[in-house]
Structure 1
């Protein structure tokens, strides 16, 4: 397999680890400030400032005209991300990190099957197959097992 495949696999794996670490940190932030929405706002604010600094330092900030040309639905990603951060920081103390992430991954895979099958948002179409459904079902089984 190509080196870019392995690089992407490693980056996403490390990103998954970062999400698992972020979840209890954000939950603790929510307890500390007394409100999950405020904690999510702080988390996103810090992330925004970090990314703004990185983009600016690379000279990668787009001109306003380019931003005006972006399709409307491209602006909704941040709202989905904000919901995710709040939902996870609220759920981790109630479910634990493993169960929270098991149900999170199951939800992601169910949506991913539909997005792939429809070629949503310009993605290449990838049909729903028995092995892919089986992989999702195994995650569902892992979710059930995580509760024991």
Structure 2
């Protein structure tokens, strides 16, 4: 296993831990601000400010030509992220953190199989074998088990 691969796995695991914390934090914020949509808005605003500061510090502000060259579907990511953050903040109080994360991961994996199979969004096509399908099935089983 290469160092880059290991670092990518660690970064993804840390990101996953952050998501587990983010949903109940945003749900609590929603209780103070009057709703999960408002909490998700504030969450995105804080995230925007952090990322904008990092972008400026790195000197990575894109040119107008770079912005114009992006395909139309590349602009949908923020809306998808907003739906993701809202759905987590809204559902965590009902489902609990474990079940909410299991449901999110299951949905992510089902979509990821389809995206890998067709090479969606410019990604390389990746074979979908029985082991990958079984992995998604096991996460689905874990989702069911999390509620028994």
On whether the aligned pair clears a TM of 0.5, the verdict is: yes
CA RMSD of the aligned region, Å? 0.7
2:94 counterpart of 1:108: no
Aligned to 1:137: 137
Q: Distance in 2 between matches of 1:129 and 1:65?
A: 40
CA distance in 1, matches of 2:57, 2:137: 44
Q: Does 1:10 align with 2:10?
A: yes
Normalising by structure 2, we get a TM-score of: 0.98
Gaps of 5+ in 1: none
| Deviation string, structure 1 residues 18-54 (Cα, Å, up to 9, x no partner) | 1101110001011111111111110000000110011
Shift of 1:69: 1.4
C-alpha distance after superposition, 1:55-75 (max 9, x if no partner): 001111111221111111100
Q: Which residues of structure 2 form unaligned runs of 5+? A: none
In the alignment, structure 1 residue 51 sits paired with structure 2 residue 51:
yes
Give the Cα–Cα distance (whole angstroms) in 2 for the partners of residues 124 and 54 of structure 1: 29
Q: Secondary structure at 1:61's aligned position in 2?
A: coil
Which residue does the alignment assign to 1:78? 78
Which stretches of structure 1, 4 residues or more, deviate above 6 A after TM superposition? none
Per-residue CA deviations over 1:77-113 (Å, capped at 9, x if unaligned) read 0000000000000000000000000011000000000
Alignment coverage as a number of residue pairs: 148
Residue matched to 1:34: 34
Give the alignment's TM-score, normalised by structure 1. Answer: 0.98
2:31 match: secondary structure: helix
**1:128 to partner: Cα distance:** 1.6
